[in-house]
Chain A
Amino acid sequence: MSDTAYLHQIAQSEYKYGFETDIEVEKAPPGLSEEVIHYISDRRGEPDWMREWRLRAFRYFMSLLERYEETYPRWAHLKYPDIDFQAISYYAAPQRKPRYKSLDEVDPKILETFRKLGIPLDEQMRLAGVAVDAVMDSVSVATTFKEELAKHGIIFCSMGEAIENYPELVKKYLGSVVPYTDNFFAALNSAVFSDGSFVYVPKGVRCPLELSTYFRINTPGTGQFERTLIIADEGSYVSYLEGCTAPMRDEHQLHAAVVELIALKDAEIKYSTVQNWYPGDAEGKGGVYNFVTKRGICLGENSKISWTQLETGSAITWKYPSVILKGDNSVGEFYSVAFTKGYQQADTGTKMIHLGRNTRSTIISKGIAAGYSNNSYRGLVKVARTAENARNFSQCDSMLLGDKCGAHTFPYIEIENPTARVEHEATTSKIGEDQIFYCQQRGLSEETAIKLIVNGFCKEVLAQLPMEFAMEAQKLLAIELEGSVG
């Protein structure tokens, strides 16, 4: 039987076995008002303290919106039309009804990418929003995973569940790293956030599995305003994977997520992202705007937070995963590959804020630009007066494929303590024709040559990703490079 026929069978059987009954897709009318906030809180069944939390943020955001011209952040090296915040609908019920009846209805280009990435059929269906029969393996895999975590006392659930079941933890830490006053989009997110992940790892526990959003089940498709909170208690370790290599299509254009990480004494959080949001069509229209505030705080001494990312999608990427190094001897790391082509724009980087003593940070950023795209690295290394003996090493390299794209570096260094040692290296290169010719002279096509050279360029960063993610990431980069040369 062909794959499609099999899928038709499965899709039809979902109704036969009485799959989820929620047929109506509930959506709030577009616009932002206090009523909408109440509506969101009501639909999600939130306790009063959460509602109040949202309202505070909402009022602050409205005050910013009123003075839009002054308050809207425009310092990034990005060009895009103004967003009409009153035209967005801020709530949609979790989609329990599948979006498509079969893979036949999904954009063939997306399917082609799935195929090249070697994604198994059932996962393709889930990613594309096709109904998955309850009997299929993917659900039982997720169940086993949850059992394993429960054994160690590790909490991994949606934000919604956490607000209901672990309010003390949420109250204590939500907004502690990114308060709603932090920036324009953090304020909006705090008011209307849809869902996201909550992780708590108890003292001394080393999480045995890589936590991935894939296993969070429940709501297929990602929310527009996700909120993630990860807490690693003393002496614990967790590795979290966000995103996937498959191209994520979404009708929402604006994605303004907030991710907060808290590492207590002797704890370590490793957060990896491979993001491939829809970049828009050949003219660059309709792509996702990915504006994210990600920040971690090394609260306790000897704690460590590392961010690793491969960003290859989105029409516009605007994010600076950062680390506040408060605890003595704490370590912050940022490894990033940002690849832009077509008409994509990226303004991404990090902030390492050294507050405690003997803190260390490492920044390795690789920006690759092709087509007509613009790729900027923006970073801040700040050493406060209290930060004795701070050390930082930054390496920011840009590579241009072609001569219509741009790569820029905006490093900021603010040092208020004379014992700091800060090293910064930056290179910009264009893949040399000599290098390509050398590869060709050894029998390699121009495309293979570019893949090898770009891979070599990104190696240090990709090596930081957990293994399976790294292999997927390499494949994704190779696919993205195809046809972006010239």
Chain B
Amino acid sequence: MALLEIRNLHARVEEKEILKGVNLTVNAGEVHAIMGPNGSGKSTLASVLAGREDYEVTEGEVLYDGKNLLEMEPDERAREGVFLAFQYPVELPGVNMATFLREALKAVREHRGLPPLSPAEFMKLLKEKAELVGLDPSLKQRSVNEGFSGGEKKRSEIFQLALLEPRLAILDETDSGLDIDALRAVADGVNKLRAPDRAFVIITHYQRLLNYIVPDYVHVMVNGRIVRSGDKTLALELEEKGYDWIKEEVGLVA
């Protein structure tokens, strides 16, 4: 059974239809990249999968582990193992990072039938995961994302991913706003987290990130639909020829 199956997904926000029939199948252990021009609906897809309220699904279905994902509340989806690394992680002033993550981990573990970790075990785990993804240890003591630089925010997202051990990790333009070093650090972290029971859906505008996180499949989204799929060479072709080429190929250029 596929981990994630998206069938003919249509969604709109504020009366405007953005997703116009997305189809995608992701199996555990795979890394899929979704690329596309601005406005193609990539981030919308991520938001809909995470369960953001503003987006209304008008048609289609999404099965996660055979279950109806769209019927689940956002926090339920998260506890089931769906993780979204946000493009613009929001700040939570005064909410201590460690406290926040302890609550999150508790919720996820409880859902999995596991007892909560003792404070000592938890602190050890935090330290371990921070080292794994190369997160500056002092960030753990601060308020969630408060005063973090762009790079620090992205790294903090990957850190949380490492801690919560999701089965489906969606990275929404995790590379945007990062310089080469930060990019490599983030990619490094992601690569360390690849596992046979985990799938990644990496949404990106540029091919660059895919030099470091090598995908198994590449999909191109244009105008709310996935119009072309291939392997990593497709990304290189796009880089060379641009999005207009794809648009022409699928007959979307006026």
B142 shortest CB reach to chain A, Å: 12
Cα–Cα, bound, A380→B124 (Å): 48
With known contacts A437-B53, A441-B50, A456–B143 Cβ distance under 8 A: yes
* Whole-angstrom distance between the Cβ of A305 and the nearest chain B Cβ: 26
List chain B residues, Cβ under 8 A from A31: none
**Residue ID in chain A nearest B107 by CB atoms:** A443
- How many Å from the CB of B129 to the closest CB on chain A? 14
Interface mask (A454-468 → B, CB under 8 Å = 1, otherwise 0): 011111100000000
Partner of A438, one of B51, B89, B107: B89
Query: Do B74 and A440 have beta carbons less than 8 Å apart?
Result: yes
Q: Closest CB of chain A to B34's CB: distance in Å?
A: 18
Given contacts A441-B78, A443-B79, A457-B93, whether A452 and B111 have CB atoms under 8 Å apart is no
Kindly provide the distance from the CB of A485 to the nearest chain B CB, expressed in whole angstroms: 14
Interface SS, A side: helix
Task: Type the 1/0 row for B66-77, where 1 means its CB is closer than 8 Å to any CB of A.
Answer: 000000011100
How far apart are the CA atoms of A443 and B50 in the complex, in Å?
11
User: Chain B interface residue count: which class?
Assistant: 20 to 34
- B92 near A439 with CB under 8 A, answer yes
Q: Which of B23-31, B96-104, B200-208, B224-232 contacts A (4 or more CB under 8 A)?
A: B96-104
- B74 in contact with A437 (CB, 8 Å): yes
Q: Which residues of A contact B104 (CB under 8 A)?
A: 439, 442-444
Contact A444 B107, beta carbon cutoff 8 Å: yes
Q: Which residues of the partner chain A approach B160 to less than 8 Å between Cβ atoms?
A: 442
B52 closest partner in A (C-beta): A437
Q: Report the minimal beta-carbon distance from B118 to chain A, rounded to whole angstroms.
A: 19
One digit per residue, 1 when the CB lies within 8 angstroms of any chain A CB and 0 when it does not, for chain B 153-185 equals 000000010001000000000000000000000
A436 to chain B, nearest CB (A): 9
The interface residues of chain B lying within 8 Å CB-to-CB of A442 are: 78, 100-101, 104, 107, 160, 164
Query: Are A433 and B75 in contact (CB-based, < 8 A)?
Result: no
8 Å CB interface, A429-486 against B: 432-435, 437-446, 448, 452-453, 455-460
A473 to chain B, nearest CB (A): 15
Q: Is B108 interfacial (CB 8 A cutoff)? A: yes
Total interface residues in chain A, CB < 8 Å: 23
Confirm or deny: B86 has a beta carbon within 8 angstroms of a beta carbon on chain A.
Answer: yes
The reply on B95 being an interface residue by CB < 8 A is: yes
Is B75 within 8 A of A438, CB to CB? no
- Complex Cα gap A444–B95 (Å): 14
B101 nearest in chain A by CB position: A442
Interface presence of B90 (CB below 8 A): yes
Is there contact, CB below 8 Å, between A455 and B78? no
Q: Are A445 and B75 in contact (CB under 8 A)?
A: yes
Q: Among A432, A434, A440, A456, which residue has its beta carbon within 8 angstroms of that of B94?
A: A456
B84 CB contacts on chain A under 8 angstroms? 441
A404 to B53, CA, bound (A): 20
Residue of B nearest to A454 (CB): B94
Bound form: Cα–Cα A442–B166 in Å: 10
A443 pairs with B78, CB closer than 8 A: yes
| Docked CA distance A437–B53 (Å) | 9
Residues on A with C-beta less than 8 A from B51 are: 440-441
* Contact, CB under 8 Å: B90 / A443: no
Knowing A443-B108, A443-B164 touch, does A434 contact B75 (C-beta < 8 A)?
A: no
| Smallest beta-carbon distance B87→chain A, Å | 12
A437 partner residues in chain B, CB cutoff 8 A: 50, 52-53, 74
6 additional A-B residue pairs with CB within 8 Å, beyond A434-B90, A437-B53? A440-B51, A441-B75, A452-B92, A452-B100, A456-B93, A460-B94
Name 12 interchain pairs, CB-CB below 8 A, sorted by A.
A437-B74, A440-B78, A441-B78, A441-B84, A443-B78, A448-B107, A452-B95, A452-B103, A453-B94, A455-B94, A456-B143, A459-B94
Which 8 residue pairs across A and B have the least CB separation, nearest first? A456-B94, A456-B95, A443-B107, A443-B78, A442-B104, A440-B74, A440-B75, A434-B90
Show the binding face of A for B, using Cβ within 8 Å.
432-435, 437-446, 448, 452-453, 455-460
